[in-house]
C-alpha cells in the first residue's frame, strides 16, 4: 500500500520540473498558440515577441496590428506588460488580443522570460 502511494505521488508531480526554465514553459503554455518569442520567430495570429520588452508597442516588423497597437504611444515595460496580460482589453477595447491572466505569479514568469528574450 505504501509503495502504491509513492507511485501515485510521483505521477502527480508536475512535469514543469522537466523544463529548466519555468518562464519559458509558462510562455509556451499561455501564449504559444499565438506568439513566438525567439529571434526571427514567426508571426502567428500575434506578432513575434523577441525584443518586445523595452520596445515601443505596435512595432514588430511585418505584423498587421489593430489601430489600437499601430497608434500606441507606450513602451512595453514591466508595468505595461503586467496590465496587458491581466486583461488586454481593459482600456483597449479594440485590441485584437483578448487575454486575461488573473494569476500574478504566472504573469511575472512570462514577463521575466520576455525580458530575457532580446
Ligand atoms: C489568442 C491569441 C493570443 C494569445 C493567447 C496571446 N496573444 Fe498576445 N497578441 C495577440 C494578437 C492578435 C496581438 C496583436 C493585437 C493588436 O494588434 O491589437 C497580440 C499582441 C501582443 C503584444 C503587443 C506586441 C507589440 O509588438 O506591441 C504583446 C506584448 C503580447 N501580445 C503578449 C502576449 C503574451 C505574453 C501572451 C501570453 C501570456 C499573449 N500575448 C497571448 C494574440 C494573442
Four-point Cα dihedral 48, 50, 52, 58, nearest 10: -30
Q: How far is the CA of 8 from the centre of ligand 1 (A)?
A: 38
User: Which has the closest alpha carbon to 113: 26, 43, 48?
Assistant: 26
Contact 85, 101 (CB under 8 A): yes
Q: How many CB atoms lie within 10 A of CB 107?
A: 20
Q: Which residue's C-alpha cell is 488573473?
A: 102
Give residue ranges with CB within 6 A of ligand 1. 30-31, 33-35, 45-47, 49, 52, 57-60, 65-66, 68-69, 76, 84-85, 95-97, 99, 101, 110
Q: How confident is the model at residue 2 (pLDDT cuts 50, 70, 90)?
A: low
pLDDT of residue 9 exceeding 50? no
- What is the per-residue pLDDT across 16-72, written as a single tens digit (0 to 9) for each? 454 689 999 999 999 999 999 999 999 999 999 999 999 999 999 999 999 999 999
Contact 48, 41 (CB under 8 A): yes
Q: How far is the CA of 35 from the centre of ligand 1 (A)?
A: 7
Amino acid at each position: 500500500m505504501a509503495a502504491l502511494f509513492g507511485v501515485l505521488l510521483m505521477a502527480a508531480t508536475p512535469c514543469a520540473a522537466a523544463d529548466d526554465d519555468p518562464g519559458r514553459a509558462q510562455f509556451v503554455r499561455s501564449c504559444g498558440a499565438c506568439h513566438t518569442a525567439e529571434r526571427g520567430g514567426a508571426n502567428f495570429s500575434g506578432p513575434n515577441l523577441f525584443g518586445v520588452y523595452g520596445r515601443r508597442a505596435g512595432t514588430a516588423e511585418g505584423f498587421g496590428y489593430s489601430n489600437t497597437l499601430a497608434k500606441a504611444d507606450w513602451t512595453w515595460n514591466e508595468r505595461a506588460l503586467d496590465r496587458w496580460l491581466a486583461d488586454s482589453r481593459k482600456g483597449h477595447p479594440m485590441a485584437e488580443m483578448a487575454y486575461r491572466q488573473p494569476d500574478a505569479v504566472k504573469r511575472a514568469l512570462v514577463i521575466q522570460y520576455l525580458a530575457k528574450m532580446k
